[in-house]
Chain A
Amino acid sequence: MSNKINNLNKYRWLAYGALGALLLALPFIVDATLGRAWVRIIDVALLFIMLALGLNIVVGFAGLLDLGYIAFFAVGAYAYALFASPQFDIHWSFLVLLPLGALVTAVFGILLGAPTLRLRGDYLAIVTLGFGEIIRIFLTNLNRPLNITNGPQGITLIDPLAVGGIALNKTHILAGFTIAPVHGYYFVFLAFALASIFISLRLENSRIGRAWIAIREDEIAAGAMGINTRDMKLLAFAMGATFGGVAGGLFASFQGFISPESFTLLDSIMVLCMVVLGGMGNVGGVVLGAVLLTALPEALRYVGPLQQQWLGAVYIDPSDLRMLLFGLALVLMMLFRPAGLWPSSTRRRELSAEEDMPADEKAHAG
């Protein structure tokens, strides 16, 4: 018996080892086969994994629909950019700025959460949407009379991640490997994404995670069971915001340029799509959703030339086609597979409540 378990454990560690080796080699394999542009796409996908996991805490675990999530990403990005760019000529290290960004966004999360605590479901969705828009309007307009955010032009020349003179925006040669900027950022983002996955998984099965899920299922019952629903909801907002803030700081350092354009409602909806399509509340599903939806637009890029080739002209702009597919996907998913591609077991039960309803209840409901 114990022998068997030992064997299982051995295989499991082997599998983890293989996965780890694959993840380490991935950027170099992709670079050699698909080209460097795809390494960059993988970097972005890792960032979106962080974002989607953050939103998953709010929407998936705690059941609070947040339509302005990208605002936290924006706050994190600007918090980094303002203190690591020629804008104010301040150049702090990311070792200071990332924790600072996390803290600032957590405060913003609580600021958003506090007035909306009493709101439920759809009301909350609209208020968070308004919050996202307010942040964006401020970022766009805070260039007068005092130039803080540089308005619609955005902030340029943002410092890259750097430790002790080794900056990630330059190519390094390490033990015979050429490490281009995209490779360097890959490993940093991978570490952060893995940490996010780990934190999400641990949270899900913790006392806090169970409290969130209880609130999602029935807030009144959760309160009756002794859960402090107010603190727990605020914590969900703060934690989710923190993920977004850290991802925002990394994004700013990676791009070297940010502007309010990158933080629109559509970006919020795209992150929401990742969570919903993958499977609300299930960490694996959310990661899958983030990877799929980051790769989709890139794949759609080939649609333009294909139209040219087959139809003689480009009728549908690929980025519009992407949005049309997003919209369609949201509708179809809710109609036919409401729990997502890879649902969590509880969510699946919840979203197909009617099928699982006992027969006598069903008779009453119908």
Chain B
Amino acid sequence: MDIFIQQLINGLVLGSIYALVALGYTMVYGILGLINFAHGDIVMVGALVALAVAQALAASLLPVPLVLLFATLAALLVCVALGVTIERVAYRPLRRAPRLAPLITAIGISILLQYSAALIWGKQYISTPDLIKPEAFTFGGAQFTDLQAFIFLLACTLMAGLLWFIKASRIGRAMRATEQNAEVAGLMGVDTNRIISFTFFLGSAIGAIAGVMVVLYYGLGHYFMGFMLGLKAFTAAVLGGIGNVAGAMLGGLLLGVIESLAAGYIGDLTGGVLGSNYRDIFAFLVLILVLVLRPSGIMGQHTSERA
């Protein structure tokens, strides 16, 4: 039972990060019908930028929260600029092209980001400077740290804010209109190009924060970290019903919990034949199962086009 609660807590924290990244996939997919393959790598760039800034400021006498704030701001700035530029340069010219073309472009952008990062920061793992020392609490026989609680609460606040923003604000309404039918939205006076740019802006900004969280949580950064993270976040988006913002949040949390529980129990269940080194497989299994059994996901609606 202790293990169960422990893995549940770990899963929820991990899942809230997946959910934030999944939002970037799901919003872009909802509007453009494009899997933005490069999104995971934008998160990676955000993480590494934040790391670099934190390292540069760690020696200074600035208080820790301020260092973190500056690191996050730098990550936000770089990611948003990247996201919007990539959309403008690489995706927009292909908006009317067959679906294979933008997908292959996205893969190209993803490789470009990865190897540019490798060029700038090298290929080794980069560890975070010792800024924060998480304090552990005990709850029902399981442990969690204040860092975990902070990540989880911040992620939930961001998601609630985003849901409200999309539901209540003017731009949010325009985003929903563009998602339903870009042409008609255009006729109604929505500047759809601006809305699409804004979607990339929003997705990249949330991705940057998720990147900072990953770095804080694991204490490590790597030029290839965006790949697996992106895949899992995409799985989360599909699990929740791709295109559905609330679904992505739910899918992210669910995937995090599934993965943690599975990794925690697989050794016992299989009598030690399979170990937790198989943890990365669960996301793919979930993905394949969802796509086969319920391609519209938990909260998705129309399936005819997508499955």
- Inter-chain contact A115/B281, CB cutoff 8 Å: no
Nearest 3 Cβ contacts at the A-B interface: A330-B108, A327-B111, A130-B284
B34 within 8 A of A: yes
- Inter-chain contact A129/B231, CB cutoff 8 Å: yes
B145 within 8 A of A: no
User: What are some 28 contacts across the A-B interface (CB < 8 A)?
Assistant: A115-B291, A116-B291, A118-B295, A118-B307, A120-B307, A122-B35, A125-B103, A126-B35, A126-B234, A126-B238, A127-B287, A133-B284, A137-B277, A137-B281, A323-B114, A324-B111, A326-B108, A327-B110, A331-B105, A331-B109, A333-B104, A334-B102, A335-B94, A338-B97, A351-B98, A351-B101, A353-B96, A354-B96
Question: For chain B, what secondary structure do more than half of its interface residues adopt (helix, strand, loop), or is it mixed?
Answer: helix
A131 within 8 A of B: yes
Q: Interface digits, A306-335 against B, CB 8 Å rule (1 contact, 0 not)?
A: 000000000010001001101111110111
Q: Interface digits, B91-135 against A, CB 8 Å rule (1 contact, 0 not)?
A: 001101111111111011111101110110000000000000000
- Inter-chain contact A119/B291, CB cutoff 8 Å: yes
Chain A residues whose C-beta falls within 8 Å of the C-beta of B98 in the assembled complex: 350-351, 353
A115 to B289, CA, bound (A): 9
Closest to A322 in B: B115
- Inter-chain contact B281/A134, CB cutoff 8 Å: yes
A276 within 8 A of B: yes
Closest to B100 in A: A65
B275 within 8 A of A: yes
The contact size tier of chain B is: 35 or more
- Inter-chain contact B104/A334, CB cutoff 8 Å: yes
Question: For chain A, what secondary structure do more than half of its interface residues adopt (helix, strand, loop), or is it mixed?
Answer: helix
A112-170 residues with Cβ-Cβ distance < 8 A to B are 115-116, 118-123, 125-127, 129-131, 133-134, 137, 141, 144-145
Chain A residues proximal to chain B, CB less than 8 Å? 63, 65, 67, 115-116, 118-123, 125-127, 129-131, 133-134, 137, 141, 144-145, 265-266, 269, 272, 276, 316, 320, 323-324, 326-331, 333-335, 338, 350-351, 353-354, 365
- Inter-chain contact A123/B291, CB cutoff 8 Å: yes
- Inter-chain contact B231/A130, CB cutoff 8 Å: yes
- Inter-chain contact B115/A327, CB cutoff 8 Å: yes
Instruction: Report the minimal beta-carbon distance from A162 to chain B, rounded to whole angstroms.
Output: 36
Chain B residues whose C-beta falls within 8 Å of the C-beta of A119 in the assembled complex: 291, 295, 307
Interface centre among B109, B115, B278, B280 (most CB of A within 10 A): B115
- Inter-chain contact A133/B115, CB cutoff 8 Å: no
Beyond the given A121-B100, A130-B284, A324-B119, please list 4 additional residue pairs across the A-B interface where CB-CB is below 8 A.
A327-B114, A330-B107, A331-B105, A365-B96
Chain B residues proximal to chain A, CB less than 8 Å? 34-35, 90, 93-94, 96-105, 107-112, 114-116, 118-119, 227, 231, 234, 238, 272-273, 275, 277-278, 280-281, 283-285, 287-288, 291-292, 295, 306-307
Chain B residues whose C-beta falls within 8 Å of the C-beta of A335 in the assembled complex: 90, 93-94, 105
A323 to B98, CA, bound (A): 25
Chain A residues whose C-beta falls within 8 Å of the C-beta of B115 in the assembled complex: 320, 323-324, 327
A365 to B116, CA, bound (A): 37
- Inter-chain contact B306/A123, CB cutoff 8 Å: yes
- Inter-chain contact B34/A122, CB cutoff 8 Å: yes
Chain B residues whose C-beta falls within 8 Å of the C-beta of A126 in the assembled complex: 35, 231, 234, 238, 287
Chain B residues whose C-beta falls within 8 Å of the C-beta of A141 in the assembled complex: 275, 277-278
- Inter-chain contact A130/B287, CB cutoff 8 Å: yes
Chain B residues whose C-beta falls within 8 Å of the C-beta of A338 in the assembled complex: 97, 101
Interface centre among A116, A129, A265, A334 (most CB of B within 10 A): A334
A354 to B281, CA, bound (A): 41
Instruction: Report the minimal beta-carbon distance from A149 to chain B, rounded to whole angstroms.
Output: 14
A79 to B227, CA, bound (A): 28
- Inter-chain contact A145/B119, CB cutoff 8 Å: no
Chain A residues whose C-beta falls within 8 Å of the C-beta of B35 in the assembled complex: 122, 125-126
- Inter-chain contact A122/B99, CB cutoff 8 Å: yes
Instruction: Report the minimal beta-carbon distance from B135 to chain A, rounded to whole angstroms.
Output: 35
A126 to B307, CA, bound (A): 13
A365 to B277, CA, bound (A): 50
Chain A residues whose C-beta falls within 8 Å of the C-beta of B104 in the assembled complex: 272, 276, 330, 333-334
Partner of B108, one of A116, A265, A334, A365: A334
Chain B residues whose C-beta falls within 8 Å of the C-beta of A120 in the assembled complex: 306-307
A350 to B98, CA, bound (A): 8
Instruction: Report the minimal beta-carbon distance from B277 to chain A, rounded to whole angstroms.
Output: 5
Interface centre among B35, B94, B288 (most CB of A within 10 A): B288
A13 to B128, CA, bound (A): 68
- Inter-chain contact A351/B97, CB cutoff 8 Å: yes
- Inter-chain contact B116/A324, CB cutoff 8 Å: yes
- Inter-chain contact A63/B100, CB cutoff 8 Å: yes
Chain A residues whose C-beta falls within 8 Å of the C-beta of B97 in the assembled complex: 334, 338, 351, 353-354
Given known A-B contacts A126-B231, A338-B97, A331 and B108 have beta carbons under 8 A apart? yes
A328 to B96, CA, bound (A): 21
A338 to B105, CA, bound (A): 10
- Inter-chain contact B292/A115, CB cutoff 8 Å: yes
Closest to B112 in A: A327
Chain A residues whose C-beta falls within 8 Å of the C-beta of B102 in the assembled complex: 334
Given known A-B contacts A119-B291, A137-B278, A144-B275, A330 and B119 have beta carbons under 8 A apart? no
Instruction: Report the minimal beta-carbon distance from A358 to chain B, rounded to whole angstroms.
Output: 15
- Inter-chain contact A334/B112, CB cutoff 8 Å: no
- Inter-chain contact B105/A265, CB cutoff 8 Å: no
A269 to B118, CA, bound (A): 18
Closest to B270 in A: A145
A292 to B284, CA, bound (A): 33
Instruction: Report the minimal beta-carbon distance from A142 to chain B, rounded to whole angstroms.
Output: 10
